[in-house]
Each structure stands twice: as C-alpha cells, then as structure tokens.
Structure 1
Amino acid sequence: MGNVQQSATNVASTVLDTIGDMINAAAGPYIPPSRVASPSERAILLELQGKLANKMRSENTADVDLLKRIWEVAIAPEIAELDGDKEFTLSSQYWRSYLGFQREEPLSDIRGGGRLAGEAILYFCKSQRGKEVFQRCLRRRRAAIEKGGSSTFNSYPLAPAIVNMVRSVGALFNICTVHGAGVDVAVAEGRLYGLLDRAGSVAFFDAVVEGMEIIDEQFEVVGGGYMAFPEVNKRSIEILTESLNRKMQL
C-alpha cells in the first residue's frame, strides 16, 4: 500500500512540475524584479563605473602594463609561430591583424570603454571561452586571406566589439546608459544586481564574455559579413539579457 501511495505522490509531483513548466513557458522569458542596489552591490557598481570613466593613456604606466599583458596573452603566442618573438609595442600592425583594432595604436579604440574595457579584453583573452571565440575570428581572417579577399569584411572587429559589449553590459547593470553616459547607482533600479552579490565584479566580466560568445554564434548564423554586424549585435544583446535574467531566477 505504501508503494502505491508513493507512486501516486510521484505522479502528482511530476504533473505539477509539468503544469508549472507550461505556465512559465506561456508567461514568456523571466524578468527579475527591479530594485535599488544594496550597499555591497553599490560598492561594486561604483568600482566598475569608475573604471569605465577612467580613460586609458599611454603616459600611465598601469595602463601600458595592462596593454602589455593583453599582448603577451593574445598576440605574442600567435606571432611567435609566424614571425618569431616580437617585443611588446604600443603601436603595431599586430594589434589590428590579430585583435581587430581599427588602428595600429589600440588605445584609440579602448578609450570608449575606459580602463574597464581594457580589463575586459584581458579577461576575455585569458578565459577559455574567450580564447575559442578569438581563434574562430582568426580562422575567418586567415580563410579570407587565403582566398585572396579582405579579412576586414569576413569577420567583425573583435576588440572594438568587446569595447562595445562592455558598454552594453554596463547598461544592463546600470553603471551607464546605452550611450555611455553616467548613472547615479545610489538610486538607479536594476534587475541584475543579485549577480554581483554572488560573484562580485567577475559577474560583469563573465557577462561580457558570454555576450561575445553570442555575437560570434549569431555572426555564423547570418553567414558573416561586416555589414551585418549591427543587427547581429542588437540580437545578441537581446539573447544575453534573457540569459542573465534566467540566471537571476536560479
């Protein structure tokens, strides 16, 4: 008799779970409630916001050291195989050909996201997920060159895309507007502050990496093409927002 009752209980539980899933699906994507940040969350937001506003400069030793670390992690291993060891330099064609900067001097692109963007690029290049995206971008570039075409239009500019993603994720976490303007984090309500409670500022950088993964996937879906990037970027932010919202539900 006990086994029958237990079986009936299990069936009832399964039915309720199924009904719950159906209700959630019908309700659409989960949207976390909006609230102001706690004191600990606000401290993290202010730290991120300060780095976003801190424009990197070639005269600043700490900023140059950050660029050197990016060079050592992302560029040096690649050029060593083809061109031998090349010492770090603030201006080089390799910043363009490997990381997709618009100019040979990377600071001009990074300034749009401040030191926060520089740290995000380094975090991206050091993470396994970021490395995989980086390698796919390199393969696209090399494939285009081998076919005698231009690598510029065969992929998207990786580093500027990361800088743009920093600002987009910054808007999601309410440290800036979508246009990069400052936000008063003491009163601004947000939906993702809980992620900072769990992982600190790492949650922000992980979101940037995830956003770049989505961009790369969407770029493949539409079949590539530099001109398609604005639409790819827009759709990617929508997907990232839904993903981060779901993480708040866990």
Structure 2
Amino acid sequence: DAKGALREKILRRFSGRFSKPLHWQEKLEEWTKENVNLSWEEDKHSAELLELWRLSMPGREAPGRKDKAWAEIGFQQQDPASDFRGAGMLALKELLYFARDQTDLYCKMLERSKGATPQDEYPFACGGINVCFMLLDMMQLLQLKGAAGESSAKVNERYKNKRAASCRRAFGSLLLTFPDAFSHLFVAAFQVLDQEWMRSSRTYMGFKEVLTSTRIRVRAGLRDPYAKTPQEIAKVMLAQA
C-alpha cells in the first residue's frame, strides 16, 4: 500500500544516511592508507636518513648506510632500516619533521638522551620510533590499515575498545583542519617520553615503564574533550609532568 511504500522509502533513506562513514572517518582512512606500514624505498629513505644525520650531527660526515656510527643518534642496528620494521617508514618521516621543524629542541633532546654514563642513556631514534608506534597502536591504526576493503565505519564497529575509538575520533577530527596533526602529536609525545625518562631511574631496564607512563599521558591529551587543536592537546600532555 501507499503507507508501506512511503515507510520503506524513508527507512532506505535513513539507513543509507547513517551507514555512510562520517567525514572524519573518511579522512582518517585516507591518511592511514597513505602513511601506515610504508615499506623501505632505498633511494628516498636513504636520502632522508642522510638528512636526519646532518640535522642531528651538523659538521659530521655522514656514515654509510650500514655503519655502527648510526648508534650515535640512537639507532640500535648498524642498518637503520631494520629499526623501522615496527612502525614503518612513518617513523622516519616524523623524526625528520621534528629535526627540521624544531631543530634546537630536537638537538637538545638528542644530547640529553645520551646521559652522563652509558647506563643512563636511551637510544634516541629508537625512542622516536617507539613513540610513533605507540600513537598508531593506541588509536588502533595498525588494525585499521590491516582491514583493507572495509569502510572506517565498519572498522569502528570491529574494534570496540572505547579508549582507542575516542583517540581515533579525536585524531580524525583534527585531520579535517590540520593535515600535519600526526606530526604535531608525535613531537609532543616525544617530549613527554623525554620528560618521563628524565624523572625515572634512567636505566635501560626501566624503559618499558617510561613507555607506559608516556602512553597514559599521551592518551589523556587525545581524549581531553576541551582540547580541539594539536597545540591544545600537546599542552594537556605536557602539563601532566
């Protein structure tokens, strides 16, 4: 009948409306596809590594691609490419962003990471790689990348972790206005790790605890309902020291 046809038409319209991903979800999915789990590209990433060395060690000749000298800026393997396996090449992009955008702060943190003795230092570059992985993991973006072919709306249904979902929504919303949002969050989160390290026992065995306390502060910044810009979120993260 006419009423039944009208009811069905309305249901179809609203069903279609609410099944579509929100704008922030679409933006998040686009960003994730472009940035997460990127593989090593020899020419591109070798050049970026050399630039990272020049910014980290001005005036020092850059080592070869496989050299123990990379440990001086905090890589753990003689071949730095091996250290990026967890977070992918996004971590190199963010380390380079930090070194370019806030060179003085970057160099101060690099110097501070070396400590007074080998016992109270941490591997700086690998610390940044850990921070990058942490951000991706707490928003479950590694899972989002793995769910290829699904819409972000469906992925949100699959991953019910409320804390991750709220962090993901906050980041996706930031991307609508701030294309470099992840880079800003990375720099702030790396500063949090530096703060936590400096007030810890500063032993290699205690680094896991430093990562845990860093994660708590970073998540609190992302989930703060009043922080609407990368700068405001960073302020919340860093104010917890």
The answer to whether the superposition gives a TM-score over 0.5 is yes
Please name the residue that 1:148 is paired with: none
Q: Structure 1 residue 204: deviation in Å?
A: 0.8
Alpha carbons of 1:86 and 1:44: their partners in 2 closer, same or farther (altered >3 Å)?
A: same
Please name the residue that 1:29 is paired with: none
Please name the residue that 2:232 is paired with: none
Matching residue's letter, 1:61: D
Tell me, yes or no, if the aligned pair for 2:98 and 2:106 is still in contact at 8 Å. Answer: no
State whether structure 2 residue 98 is matched by structure 1 residue 120: no
Which of 163, 176, 185 does residue 197 from structure 1 map onto?
176
State whether structure 2 residue 47 is matched by structure 1 residue 65: yes
State whether structure 2 residue 122 is matched by structure 1 residue 156: yes
- How far apart, CA to CA, are the structure 1 residues paired with 2:192 and 2:213? 9
Alpha carbons of 1:185 and 1:135: their partners in 2 closer, same or farther (altered >3 Å)?
A: farther
Which of 81, 94, 104 does residue 69 from structure 2 map onto?
94
Matching residue's letter, 2:83: D
Q: Scaled by the length of structure 1, what TM-score is found?
A: 0.67
- How far apart, CA to CA, are the structure 1 residues paired with 2:193 and 2:227? 23
- How far apart, CA to CA, are the structure 2 residues paired with 1:72 and 1:40? 37
State whether structure 2 residue 92 is matched by structure 1 residue 108: no
Which of 116, 129, 132 does residue 143 from structure 1 map onto?
116
Tell me, yes or no, if the aligned pair for 1:92 and 1:104 is still in contact at 8 Å. Answer: yes
Give the secondary-structure state (helix, strand or coil) at the position aligned to 1:241. helix
Q: Scaled by the length of structure 2, what TM-score is found?
A: 0.69
- How far apart, CA to CA, are the structure 2 residues paired with 1:131 and 1:234? 27
Give the secondary-structure state (helix, strand or coil) at the position aligned to 1:207. helix
Alpha carbons of 1:37 and 1:94: their partners in 2 closer, same or farther (altered >3 Å)?
A: farther
- How far apart, CA to CA, are the structure 2 residues paired with 1:133 and 1:198? 26
- How far apart, CA to CA, are the structure 1 residues paired with 2:128 and 2:206? 17
Please name the residue that 1:209 is paired with: 187
Tell me, yes or no, if the aligned pair for 2:114 and 2:122 is still in contact at 8 Å. Answer: no
- How far apart, CA to CA, are the structure 2 residues paired with 1:248 and 1:37? 24
Q: Structure 1 residue 242: deviation in Å?
A: 0.8
Q: Structure 1 residue 125: deviation in Å?
A: 1.8
- How far apart, CA to CA, are the structure 1 residues paired with 2:91 and 2:47? 14
- How far apart, CA to CA, are the structure 1 residues paired with 2:200 and 2:175? 33
State whether structure 2 residue 230 is matched by structure 1 residue 246: no
- How far apart, CA to CA, are the structure 1 residues paired with 2:136 and 2:89? 13
Q: Deviations over 1:76-120 (max 9, x none)?
A: x1xx2xxxx4145212333101x2111221101012222211101
Tell me, yes or no, if the aligned pair for 1:100 and 1:160 is still in contact at 8 Å. Answer: yes
Matching of residues 215-234 of structure 1 within 5 Å: 215-234=193-212
Give the secondary-structure state (helix, strand or coil) at the position aligned to 1:91. coil
Question: How big is the alpha-carbon RMSD for the aligned residues of Structure 1 and Structure 2?
Answer: 2.7
Tell me, yes or no, if the aligned pair for 1:172 and 1:241 is still in contact at 8 Å. Answer: yes
